[in-house]
Structure 1
Amino acid sequence: MTDMRAAPLDIHSPLDGSLVGWLPTATEQDVASAVLDAREAQAAWARVPAAERGAALRAAAAGLREQADNLATVVETETGRPFASAREGVLAGASTLEQYAELGPVHRGRTLLGGHDATDFMVPEPRGVVVALTPWNDPVAIACGLLGAALVTGNAVIHKPSERCPHTGLLLGQLLAEHFPAGVLQGLTGDGAVGALLAANPHVDVVAHVGGTATGRQILAATAATGAKALLENGGNDPLVVDAGVDPEWAADQAALGAFVNAGQLCTAVERIFVHEAVAEAFVAALCERARRWNEDPQPLVDTRHRESVHAHVAEAVADGAQVLVGGEVPEGDGAYYPATVLARCTPQMRVMREETFGPVAPVCVVPSFEEALALACVDEHGLAATVLTGSMAHAQQAWRALPVGTVKVNAVFGGAPGGAAQPRRASGTGFGYGPELLDEMTTTKVVHLGLPG
């Protein structure tokens, strides 16, 4: 990448293919200048009392709530996420900022028990310059988590949103940045080349990324060379296990929600289903009925390029022996629509079962026992999340202990207590991506011994 102005980002709406607009792509000099400005601004921001940093974040959250409708409209236009759902994401982002506004000032260190004539303690300090590389599928809520935790702990932040939603990222950054000193929160637009420049910059202290596994691995390589901390939530291939004895209608509701909500474009979406043969026939029939309902009010995928990827998984599965029961065809007309799809006769060897599809596809594999379903669910290079539907406490205990993932959900595909966190494993990433523990990720600990002079 050179300092010559790169080609702009042209964004077309997945709703109808119309041009949303274009934004400039940051150059190498833009990246270097942003990092330098952040480094200079961070020292003063770190000296601001934590309570005042929290107050700034609270004011930013209030401004975000005031502009929720406007920002949700931009999200819908760029990503195809329906307005009501997009607005929920904006408000979730504001709530996350408010959460960190409260948690930041009470983020504690520890005192140590040393000699009587000395004081020993451990104190958290900001890491410095944080780069936040955020995705398009929930662009406001996810960004607010990383930005909020980094800012309230005294870091300066450079935010690069996905090239699929740069207008969303730009507007979010403008709304938030006005509540912080110059240089503390900056935004850059561009594609993966800009993200690579940021990740490789030797003056960056943390690279926080939510997105694909391939990009995450590139970031790990870059930070290994610079010494920066990599905080990654990458792809997942989350299984759903349906045990014998469960209500197949209820199980189908859970499976459809997990596989089809937001057109399957969620990090913790249901990607592969293992159902006990005792309930398989009734479950699959009910799941097909739910898929047809979802298709009455379709949501597009983020763009036609992504739709091609999703359909390739389906077509390859069919070629390998899977049966399409609902959907499975690219619709005619404008936009990037793809129907909720149910695939039967799937095997664990199929790519649709081995890799993250990230679309509204529910591949079903019928198994003879809970033990086999659990064993197959455990076979994957990812380690993000998993769901088990069962009426057996013994099976629930067996499952949550066996599944090699950061989050296990029993009898609900989504949900959890407030303040929860998640720590992905293996190809799905490293570090806590949200929750109170994210404050620990954004800080480093200094141990101090205060002794008396001799």
Structure 2
Amino acid sequence: MIQFGGGYCSSVTVLENRELTVLDPRTDEVVGRVPIATPERCDEAVASARRAASDWARTPAAERGAALHAAAAAVREAADELAALNSRETGKPVEDARGGVDAGIGTLVQYAELGPVHRGRSLHGAWDAADLMVPEPRGVVAVLTPWNDPVAVAAGLIGAAVVTGNTVVHKPSERCPQTGRRFAELVAAALPPGVLEIVDGDGAVGARLASAPVDVVAHVGSSATGRAITEACARTGARPLLENGGNDPLIVDAGVDPGWAAAQAALGAFANAGQICVSVERIFVHAAEADAFIEALVGEARQWADRIGPLVDRAHREHVHGHVQGALDAGAHALTGGAIPGGPGAFYPPTVLIGCVPAMAVMSEETFGPVAPVRVVRDFPTALQEASADRYGLAATVLTSDMEHAQRAWRELPVGTVKVNNVFGGAPGGASQPRGDSGSGFGFGPELLDEMTAVKVVHLAPAPRPT
């Protein structure tokens, strides 16, 4: 995820009189104003969550799961409202926004079911004793969520935290504060007071929460912010849980159908205008398939141009175009797109670049826009080598009909998730564990329950009888 200015959350918006002003990225019209939480409000939210933590931790797991089921039902009732809010604030097409809401509902239900059966282990010790490893809630979790999929991401982090007995202070992204707050309010209404506190604000609010006396800071966003959070947690002793930027490669091997490969690449690069955590950021194509693949990819890009939404705001568009212009200045060529269109909003066309080299920012940094930079390589080992030479480690996709190449790819690519022959494939309940500058800790899946708990080892032995 992209962030500007080095703060804890990206700046969308105009900040006036300590107020977030949110603009529609299609029309530049004002769609909302949200007051920024004061430092005192942030501190009180943390204190309130701390006061509620003990009772919530003692609440039976089945009751916590039932509360999360009730929250999922409330979100389901408000799904159209949330999708419309999200679309107005971020420009995401309504049907895509509704898909994110539905994913969030499914995640809440998943954790409502998994939480009560989350279990520890028993150990084999002495015959007359018992040794247990018991998961316990960590305490107060600060949850800082992004704008590109605000409901689904928040549902995962908040759901896993509260169902395991933690309390939460949630700050939604300032790029979609109304969507984030409305979702959190629906969840909070199903929980006791203080279990889920909500604060709105900019990077300063996120920074205060990350430095507050909390036990976990869970953040989905930029790598720069993740590093700052890690530093803050080193001072406070909180546990950082981070899914940060990515620069995901896609490898097109020799022998695959170039039209199918181009459709996969276009889906990965252009869906949600390229604003997905695991969007395709750089493409390596075997020389044997390059001409046919590139021709097909240009055709795909032109079809996507008719249905792609805007970028989240003009500041982000400037970032995306800066990467593209830098590549063009360094010798790349745009076969389609590559220019800022006229008119209102923050639109940017699907762009296919050829002649790209690793030193270009469009290949070495996260662009997070509808840009498909293509690099032609002589063979599969070269594609693996160049795809692996990156400081990020979120995900990668490999398109190949060679089983040996598929096995080698998932073994060698230094990322948390490798997808073979399906750019957005994955089983329900799957988790991810990013590497390098892409973060640390599991996100989603049953493993996220482990991240939200600490294990206590208990040895129970009988006292000796009085003599």
Given the two structures, how large is their TM-score scaled by the length of structure 1? 0.98
1:89-146 per-position Cα deviation (integer Å, ceiling 9, x unaligned): 0011000000000000000011111112222111100000001000000010011000
CA distance in 2, matches of 1:409, 1:117: 49
1:273-298 per-position Cα deviation (integer Å, ceiling 9, x unaligned): 00011110000000000000011123
CA distance in 2, matches of 1:174, 1:409: 36
Deviation of the 1:453 alpha carbon: 1.8
Specify which of 318, 321, 331 is matched with residue 341 of structure 2.
Answer: 331
Specify which of 399, 403, 406 is matched with residue 409 of structure 2.
Answer: 399
Where does residue 4 of structure 2 map in the other structure? none
- Give the unaligned 5+ runs of structure 1: none
Matched, 1:172 2:183: yes
Where does residue 125 of structure 1 map in the other structure? 136
Where does residue 137 of structure 1 map in the other structure? 148
8 Å contact from structure 2 (residues 250, 282) kept in 1: yes
Where does residue 269 of structure 2 map in the other structure? 259
Amino acid at match of 1:45: W
Where does residue 99 of structure 1 map in the other structure? 110
Where does residue 435 of structure 1 map in the other structure? 445
Matched, 1:319 2:329: yes
CA distance in 2, matches of 1:175, 1:20: 21
Matched, 1:358 2:368: yes
Matched, 1:343 2:353: yes
Specify which of 303, 310, 313 is matched with residue 303 of structure 1.
Answer: 313
Amino acid at match of 1:99: Q
From the superposition, tell whether residues 328 and 422 of structure 1 become closer, same or farther in structure 2 (CA, over 3 Å). Answer: same
What aligned pairs does 1:231-242 form with structure 2 within 5 A after superposition?
A: 231-242=241-252
8 Å contact from structure 1 (residues 6, 27) kept in 2: no
Where does residue 296 of structure 2 map in the other structure? 286
Deviation of the 1:158 alpha carbon: 0.6
Deviation of the 1:231 alpha carbon: 0.1
Where does residue 3 of structure 2 map in the other structure? none
Deviation of the 1:173 alpha carbon: 1.2
8 Å contact from structure 2 (residues 217, 241) kept in 1: yes
8 Å contact from structure 2 (residues 271, 308) kept in 1: no
CA distance in 2, matches of 1:445, 1:204: 18
Deviation of the 1:42 alpha carbon: 1.1
> Aligned with 2:338: secondary structure?
coil
Matched, 1:273 2:283: yes
Where does residue 163 of structure 2 map in the other structure? 152
CA distance in 2, matches of 1:417, 1:86: 21
Specify which of 72, 86, 94 is matched with residue 75 of structure 1.
Answer: 86
Amino acid at match of 2:399: L
1:229-267 per-position Cα deviation (integer Å, ceiling 9, x unaligned): 000000000000001111000000000000000000011
CA distance in 2, matches of 1:426, 1:368: 27
Alpha-carbon RMSD: 1.0
> Aligned with 2:98: secondary structure?
helix
Amino acid at match of 1:169: G
Deviation of the 1:6 alpha carbon: 6.0
Where does residue 13 of structure 2 map in the other structure? none
Where does residue 444 of structure 1 map in the other structure? 454
- Farther-moved stretch of structure 1 (114-123 vs 180-189): 114-123
> Aligned with 2:335: secondary structure?
strand
Amino acid at match of 1:315: Q
Deviation of the 1:155 alpha carbon: 0.4
CA distance in 2, matches of 1:298, 1:121: 53
Where does residue 10 of structure 2 map in the other structure? none
8 Å contact from structure 1 (residues 6, 26) kept in 2: no
Amino acid at match of 1:450: L
Amino acid at match of 1:10: T
CA distance in 1, matches of 2:98, 2:90: 13
8 Å contact from structure 2 (residues 270, 308) kept in 1: no
Where does residue 386 of structure 1 map in the other structure? 396
Specify which of 2, 6, 14 is matched with residue 25 of structure 2.
Answer: 14
> Aligned with 1:116: secondary structure?
coil
Where does residue 86 of structure 1 map in the other structure? 97
> Aligned with 1:391: secondary structure?
coil
CA distance in 2, matches of 1:6, 1:141: 31
Matched, 1:208 2:228: no
> Aligned with 1:231: secondary structure?
strand
Given the two structures, how large is their TM-score scaled by the length of structure 2? 0.95
Specify which of 201, 206, 215 is matched with residue 195 of structure 1.
Answer: 206
* Identity between Structure 1 and Structure 2 (%): 64
Deviation of the 1:27 alpha carbon: 1.2
CA distance in 1, matches of 2:181, 2:150: 11
Specify which of 374, 377, 391 is matched with residue 384 of structure 2.
Answer: 374
CA distance in 1, matches of 2:187, 2:379: 52
CA distance in 2, matches of 1:278, 1:116: 66
Specify which of 422, 428, 431 is matched with residue 418 of structure 1.
Answer: 428
CA distance in 2, matches of 1:247, 1:451: 65
Kindly tell me the number of residue pairs found equivalent between the two proteins: 450
Amino acid at match of 1:236: G
CA distance in 1, matches of 2:442, 2:384: 25
> Aligned with 1:235: secondary structure?
coil
CA distance in 2, matches of 1:297, 1:404: 34
